[in-house]
Amino acid sequence: MPQVKVGDYLFQRLKQIGITSVFGVPQDNEYALLDLVFTNDLQFKGNPDELVASYAAGGYARVKNYGAFVTTFGAGELSAYSGMAGQYTEFVPVAHIVGYPAVTARKAGFIMHHTGGDSKYDTYRKMSTDITAAVTVLDNPSTACAEIDRCLNTMIYESRPVYIGVPTDIAYAAVFDNSLQIPLALELSQNDLELEHIVISELRTWMETKMKPAMVVDGNGIRNICVKEINELAKLTGFPIFVTAMGKGIVNETLPNFGGVYGGAASHAEVKRTIATSDALFWFGSFLSDVNTGELTSDFDKTAFIGFQRFSVKISNQMFDVKTKYVLRALIHSLQRAPLHRKTGSKMAWDPYPERDISPHGPLTQDFMWHALSDFFQKGDYIVSENGSSASGIGTTRFAKGVSMYNQTISGSFGHATRAAVGCFQAIKEDCGRYGRGILVTGEGSFHLTVQAVADMLRFALKPIVFILNSADHSVERLARDKTADYNGVAVYDYSAIPQAFGSAHQTQYFGPIKTAEELTTLIGNPAVRGNDCFTIIELVLVQVEAQLSVSIAGAAVDEVDELHKQKPSASSTQGT
């Protein structure tokens, strides 16, 4: 029976599930393993630091379903944990491959570097269990293949990250490759058909009989890969359909029944009213978190809530053990064969995008900028949006059909976007034709967290358009708290010098600083800007302490809560009394 190395087996499995680029930071404990990336005909896309590697793998997974990256044990892997935790939260299937010290060295109790200076080797593996769906350290060649398969199958099944430790003396151990012929389980197991019929019938009844049905699409809608089904359902039912901050980009906004963004109290009045009065709320992949609900200000009838998650459908108070993907497919099939009797599908009575002051003159405002970007975005764009102002603002832009995007609403790690963009845009490049331009929208504070990722975009010959929103500090943070606080000051970069600093050999262009509405209008009309022929930075300088509506409202909500805390500490607030 043919033999392969343990490392070969791992990389062959990654290839089988569509991964062609592996990210990571080359360091000790991984060299021998990294040699096998190449011999297994994968690309290694090395990154400057582990958090870039982690998020790059996540961005890659969002486009190509799965991602992988390699770090060294200890100091290296720990630097990636924030990314892993984010992927765990947001259901992004990424394999974190960790180069471990040799089993022989560990068994001998040697004190190796990257440890706690002791002979304990289990600390980091244990820590990882809280932020991954499965963990293994391949200490035994005879179980290595089974362990790799267990972890990767869990990653796929749960759509969550996993941790695979590969000791230096195991990476090259010979194992039989026979199980490579058995594919990993890429599809969820089928539903109990009887139960599925009950659910479909129940859903149809709600759809037929309720007076004010509506649909809300949240982040887990895309993480569970139901984008096509959700859009099909929107067409077939004609029910008003909304997205949350995290769901933006999932729904085709040119549908007549697209109603805009729902974000609790921060929503458009008509959107708020529709949700508050709905008697049948079909809510896909909900994450009822603070940021996703206008600081927990969602107001709707809980008994009208029909929640669709990866492994369950909840109808009012009843939970059904069925997978949403198959339920939606069956429901669509049912609706195609026997359409709803009710008449729905008229155009929304309101403009799904907020009214704003879009006067094309004067200093650049957030309102005008987001309006202008609505015209800039086009079919095929894949937008990675930073959290904070960028995420709030982009929620208010109008997307043409075929514009994709994501942000990281729940995990909410600042800096994720620039890091993730490396992998996301690499994936777009590999999937040539499916997407067009890669667009990164980031505030400057967030960009500063990880500016070194620019060098990767340059040397991987990615050609994104990078919008840097410069308000000389973290605008959403300032709005949320304090208009002037000194601690929010960030460094003053010269963005025009960034491409030179990080890769002068590459073709790049810089436009900016754009300070007025007129300048932005001219810029957006420039074909050199609209193309994606080279790495492009566009620096937008926004009027200070000014943001668009939803951010201001969210900020006001935070203000209120904070003030409350300052004035009224909890009851047991004095010591010793």
- Among residues 260, 415, 438, 443, the one that binds its own copies under rule CB under 8 A: 415
Q: Is 224 in the site for its own copies (CB under 8 A)?
A: no
Query: Is the CB of 51 or the CB of 152 nearer to its own copies?
Result: 51
- Structural tokens at position 187: 């599809």
Q: Is 288 in the site for its own copies (CB under 8 A)?
A: yes
Q: Is 497 in the site for its own copies (CB under 8 A)?
A: yes
513 upstream amide cis, omega within 30 of 0? yes
Q: Is 59 in the site for its own copies (CB under 8 A)?
A: no
**Closest separation between CB of residue 393 and its own copies, Å?**
17
Q: Is 426 in the site for its own copies (CB under 8 A)?
A: no
- Count residues contacting its own copies (CB under 8 A)? 121
Query: Is the CB of 265 or the CB of 558 nearer to its own copies?
Result: 558
Query: Is the CB of 97 or the CB of 207 nearer to its own copies?
Result: 97
Distance CA 444, CA 325 (A): 38
Query: Is the CB of 451 or the CB of 520 nearer to its own copies?
Result: 451
**Closest separation between CB of residue 259 and its own copies, Å?**
24
Which among 205-213, 287-295, 397-405, 461-469 is the span making contact with its own copies, rule CB under 8 A? 287-295
- Structural tokens at position 51: 């958090």
Q: x/- contact string, 129-168, with its own copies (CB under 8 A)?
A: -xx--------xxx-xx----------------------x
- Among residues 56, 92, 94, 103, the one that binds its own copies under rule CB under 8 A: 103
- Among residues 58, 59, 67, 86, the one that binds its own copies under rule CB under 8 A: 86
- Structural tokens at position 490: 């960030």
- Among residues 194, 433, 491, 527, the one that binds its own copies under rule CB under 8 A: 491
Q: Is 296 in the site for its own copies (CB under 8 A)?
A: yes
Q: Is 565 in the site for its own copies (CB under 8 A)?
A: yes
- Among residues 138, 164, 171, 261, the one that binds its own copies under rule CB under 8 A: 171
> Strands of 134-137's sheet, edge to edge?
43-46, 21-24, 67-72, 94-100, 162-167, 134-137
What 430-435 contacts at long range (C-beta under 8 Å, 24+ apart), as own/partner pairs, is 430/20, 430/21, 430/64, 431/63, 431/64, 435/63, 435/380, 435/381, 435/382, 435/404
Distance CA 258, CA 250 (A): 11
Q: x/- contact string, 179-218, with its own copies (CB under 8 A)?
A: ----------------------------------------
**Closest separation between CB of residue 313 and its own copies, Å?**
19
**Closest separation between CB of residue 446 and its own copies, Å?**
10
Q: Is 560 in the site for its own copies (CB under 8 A)?
A: no
Which among 147-155, 306-314, 410-418, 538-546 is the span making contact with its own copies, rule CB under 8 A? 410-418
- Structural tokens at position 160: 């969550």
Q: Could you say which residues in the range 352-381 bind its own copies, by CB under 8 A?
A: none
What 559-564 contacts at long range (C-beta under 8 Å, 24+ apart), as own/partner pairs, is 559/480, 559/481, 561/295, 562/481
- Structural tokens at position 418: 């620039």
Beta-bridge partners for 280: 213
Which among 228-236, 288-296, 515-523, 534-542 is the span making contact with its own copies, rule CB under 8 A? 288-296
| Cα dihedral value 444, 447, 449, 453, nearest 10 | -160
- Among residues 116, 362, 363, 525, the one that binds its own copies under rule CB under 8 A: 116
Report the run of H or E that residue 220 belongs to, with start and end. helix 220-223
List, in order, residues 6 or more apart from 485 with CB less than 8 Å away.
478
> By the 8 A CB rule, do 207 and 340 touch?
yes
Report the run of H or E that residue 217 belongs to, with start and end. strand 213-217
Query: Is the CB of 494 or the CB of 518 nearer to its own copies?
Result: 494
C-alpha dist (Å) from residue 208 to 56, 143, 279, 380: 44, 54, 12, 36
**Closest separation between CB of residue 250 and its own copies, Å?**
17
